[in-house]
């Protein structure tokens, strides 16, 4: 069974088309990253999944139920971390979790949930005094109540420090391991890259691509730029290189030859230059990074901040040196 299915969904607010003809399926047990720059339509889509707003056109089913017809029973099967979650200032963190347990008629141990989200020590303080990151942890804790079949997390890493972002990812992975489906939105590529099985990129209300991180990486790896330091070369020397299948361009500037090509033809380029009598002193390869690929899908709008990835590694592939 699909956990989420949107068919030809469009949402208009007056003249604004927030979501356009969206077809999207998330299978049960998947961790799906919903990526897009500000204003792409992510929150609108999430709000439609939760039946907070209704689509102008199209149909939506969640956990096999048409959302428009579903009621409290469906909501009890879903854990939600909403965008811009606001705490009840005077209530403690523990009270918030207890409230979520009561309203879902669940039997979780509040202390265990508070511990999972790293709020044990602050549990008995009024949440009004919590930092932004602590509020986000509390919201995540409330979403976890009742072992939901589906977790819908709207920008869950907002306000989290790198450690908090890593813990959030570990929780997402643990939830998926017990069988939950996780759908989370982000404009932070690193968050999505580290944890998701599949990613959909939304831009101006439309799904511009959908693939596994591996698939996206392969797409980005398939194009490369070769930068060669040579003894001497003329533009005419490069004609044979330009004629090679998979080469999209070649240029020479002094002792530097730059060739844009598919990654698979790099060796052909080098041997063709050799056959033309060009002495190669040094070779560097730059692959198209995942970051550049994302930017190409969103007209350069920022989905690629590296905030809070917490991996201690770059969030995106960096140009590789050497061959």
Ligand X SMILES: Nc1ncnc2c1ncn2[C@@H]1O[C@H](COP(=O)(O)OP(=O)(O)OP(=O)(O)O)[C@@H](O)[C@H]1O
Residues of this chain that interact with ligand X (CB under 6 A) are 13, 16, 18, 36, 38-44, 187
CB of 40 vs ligand X, minimal distance in Å: 4
CA distance 120 to 175: 20
Judge whether 69 and 220 are in contact, CB under 8 Å: no
CB of 53 vs ligand X, minimal distance in Å: 7
Question: How far from 75 is each of 43, 104, 105, 165, CA to CA, in Å?
Answer: 17, 9, 12, 26
CB of 148 vs ligand X, minimal distance in Å: 21
* Beta carbon nearer to ligand X, 43 or 157: 43
Judge whether 147 and 180 are in contact, CB under 8 Å: yes
Phi-psi region of 25 (alpha: psi -120 to 50; beta: other; left: phi over 0): beta
* Beta carbon nearer to ligand X, 38 or 281: 38
CB of 228 vs ligand X, minimal distance in Å: 42
Helical (H) or strand (E) element with 161: none
* Beta carbon nearer to ligand X, 44 or 191: 44
CB of 208 vs ligand X, minimal distance in Å: 13
CB of 42 vs ligand X, minimal distance in Å: 3
* Beta carbon nearer to ligand X, 36 or 93: 36
Outline where DSSP puts E strands in 82-238.
150-154, 181-186, 198-203, 206-212, 223-230
* Beta carbon nearer to ligand X, 13 or 88: 13
DSSP 11-47: EEETTEEEEEEEEEEEETT-EEEEE--TTSSHHHHHH
* Beta carbon nearer to ligand X, 83 or 223: 83
Helical (H) or strand (E) element with 248: strand 247-253
Judge whether 289 and 299 are in contact, CB under 8 Å: no
CA atoms within 13 A on the CB side of 71: 0
């Amino acid at each position: 069974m699909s956990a989420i299915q949107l068919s030809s969904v469009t949402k208009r607010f007056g003249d604004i088309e927030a979501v356009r003809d969206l077809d999207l399926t998330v299978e049960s047990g998947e961790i799906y990253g919903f990526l897009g720059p500000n204003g792409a339509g992510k929150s609108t889509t999430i709000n439609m999944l939760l039946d907070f707003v209704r689509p102008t056109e199209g149909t939506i089913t969640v956990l096999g139920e048409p959302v428009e017809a579903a009621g409290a029973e469906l909501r009890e099967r879903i854990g939600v971390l909403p965008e811009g979650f606001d705490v009840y200032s005077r209530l403690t963190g523990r009270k918030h979790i207890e409230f979520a347990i009561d309203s879902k008629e669940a039997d979780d141990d509040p202390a265990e949930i508070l511990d999972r989200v790293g709020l044990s020590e602050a549990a008995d303080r009024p949440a009004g005094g919590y930092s932004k990151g602590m509020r986000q942890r509390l919201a995540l804790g409330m979403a976890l109540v009742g072992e939901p079949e589906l977790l819908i997390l709207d920008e869950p890493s907002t306000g989290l420090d790198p450690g908090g972002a890593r813990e959030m990812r570990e929780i997402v992975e643990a939830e998926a391991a017990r069988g939950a489906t996780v759908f989370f939105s982000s404009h932070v590529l690193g968050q999505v890259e580290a944890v998701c099985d599949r990613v959909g990129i939304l831009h101006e209300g439309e799904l511009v691509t959908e693939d596994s991180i591996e698939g996206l990486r392969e797409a980005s790896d398939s194009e490369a730029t070769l930068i060669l330091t040579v003894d001497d070369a003329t533009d005419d020397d490069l004609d044979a290189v330009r004629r090679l299948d998979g080469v999209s361009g070649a240029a020479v500037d002094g002792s530097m030859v730059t060739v844009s090509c598919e990654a698979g033809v790099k060796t052909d380029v080098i041997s063709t230059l050799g056959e033309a009598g060009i002495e190669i002193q040094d070779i560097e390869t730059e692959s198209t990074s995942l970051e550049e690929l994302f930017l190409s899908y969103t007209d350069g709008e920022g989905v690629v901040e590296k905030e809070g990835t917490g991996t201690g590694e770059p969030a995106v592939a960096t140009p590789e040196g050497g061959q």
